[in-house]
Chains A and B, each alone.
Chain A
Amino acid sequence: MSAARGTLTIPLPRGEINPRPMDFEKFHREESGRILSTLIRLLGDFDLAEEMLQEAYAVALQKWPTEGTPANPRAWLISTARHKAIDRMRRNQRFERKAEEIAKTTELAAQPESDQEEEMLADDRLRLIFTCCHPSLPMEARVALTLRTVCGITTEEISRAFLVPLATMAQRLVRAKGKIREAGIPYRVPSNGELQDRLDGVLLVVYLIFNEGYLASSGDALIRRELCAEAIRLGRVLCNLLPNQAEAQALLGLMLLHDSRRDARLSADGELVLLEEQNRSLWHTEQIREGTELVESALRRGATGVYALQASIAALHANPKTAKDTDWPQIAGLYDVLLRTHASPVVEVNRAVAVAMARSLEEGLALLDELGKREELGEFHLLPAARADLLRRLGRISEAADAYRRALTLATNDIERRFLQRRLAEIENPRDARL
């Protein structure tokens, strides 16, 4: 290694030369989150880490095709980026001390991956996730920063997914990194006393990312699907790195169970298909199995939080062979519990629907009518939509039509609107319902 100032020497790759060309796209997607998390720790700065990693990739793209892929590409990239950072800092007198700090950090040996390295990378990854999800950052910044640095999604893709101009999303990321720097947000996994609380925050970010992808309305369907996949990936990372956290398991189970229906939720024409009408042969049974196992395991470990409850309900929906086999009384019971601990408009409405299916349509309708009297639910489109459905089943057609129309004045999601319009047309013109 060179000690002369301003000279960059990269340790020569040892080990066998890999004759196969590297798939950089794939490597970048899978590895950059882990590499970045270590670099942020070594260099103490998000932007510097990102920039140096880019430069290291540039060198790799030049050298590896001719000199061969190093035995440990991750270690090579980290080492290269680190040296470039030291060099860059040394050139600027103001940052001399910083350069020496970085130089003192432990050099990674250019050796094939070891258990020690795996552990170190896992710790760094966890640090990065917790930092990106720090409560001092605004929620939308946590989501954006996690997607950008932990998942490696480009700013452009994130802005498209959230239907926000690119400049706005870029500013959001700049401000988030700025706050981390200026407010002194540490790059650390929270201590045991705070871990639970902070983990709740992380799980919420993952859940929000999943929901953003799952409740895809207009916009790029591919991007939305990618968000679900990323959220699930993040969920897996958290379960691997924090194997004692039952709620994390429950969240992963919940996401897998919802995602298992991704190919059945829309018809060939892109129209919404409700769960009870979905073609169950299109459901991904392996995911259902895995998701259900995770939920059961989480429950055995004593998980009682919001994800454990939602996942239990999801498992009850996902496992029956036909819609008629659904255990509605149990689902209704779980919604009762959810209502006590995590009440929300969606929970209220879903519970009423479960009661309608478990006990009687009239009872469910009565609950919805009670909810309708509450001012804060006045603009909630799912309430009249659910009422409309129950009224339709009871044969109270003109009331159902009124309710569908009410729901249409409140619904904003394109796919949901088309669904409501179709239902309205079906009951108004039972013989010529088109759309």
Chain B
Amino acid sequence: MQFLLLIYRSETELAKMSSADLSAMYGEYGKFTEEIQNSGNYIGGNPLKPTSTATTVRVRDSKRVVTDGPFAETKEQLGGYYLIEASDLDQAISIAARIPGARHGSIEVRPIMPRTQAVQA
């Protein structure tokens, strides 16, 4: 099964981190990524630029509505993601728990809908 791991953390908290702490954190991310690549779980992943760089696009009544900022104001903001392969939810949860961001923010674990499947909610 494939899962998307969405990494949420508070940008204001992040801004308070010292450059030494930040660099330590990036180091941890690098190490974690390598680990899941070696274990065969890694499919993809990226950090995202902060929400100050975000733009939201909606089309209503054929009109394009473009606004600045993320789709909603939230306490924690989306900062990055991993796309992984895992045998089941428990394995996905274990991997998510190892993401450095899990210690300060929240990781949402979402199963990818397989292309052949139609889901009844």
Contact = CB atoms under 8 A, between A and B. Distances in A.
Contacts of A3: none
Interface string B73-100: 0000000000000111110111000000
Contacts of A190: 90
B120 interface: yes
B120 A178 contact: yes
B90 A183 contact: no
Contacts of B92: 184
A188 B93 CA distance: 14
A136 B89 contact: yes
Contacts of A185: 88-90
Interface of A is mostly: loop
A185 B3 CA distance: 12
B117 to A, nearest CB: 9
A186 interface: yes
B88 A186 contact: yes
B120 A186 contact: no
Interface residues of B, number: 14
A289 B8 CA distance: 52
A183 B89 contact: yes
Contact of A182 (B86, B87, B93, B119): B119
Contacts of A183: 89, 111
B111 A184 contact: yes
Interface residues of A, number: 11
A136 B88 CA distance: 12
B1 interface: yes
Interface in A182-238: 182-186, 188, 190, 194
Contact of A186 (B3, B90, B111): B90
Contact of A184 (B88, B94, B121): B88
B119 A188 contact: no
A185 B121 CA distance: 16
A182 B111 contact: yes
Contacts of A184: 1, 3, 86, 88-89, 92, 111
A186 B89 CA distance: 7
A94 B23 CA distance: 52
A190 B94 CA distance: 12
10 contacts: A136-B93, A182-B119, A183-B89, A183-B111, A184-B1, A184-B89, A186-B87, A186-B89, A188-B88, A194-B90
Given A182-B119, A185-B89, 5 more contacts: A136-B89, A178-B120, A182-B111, A184-B3, A190-B90
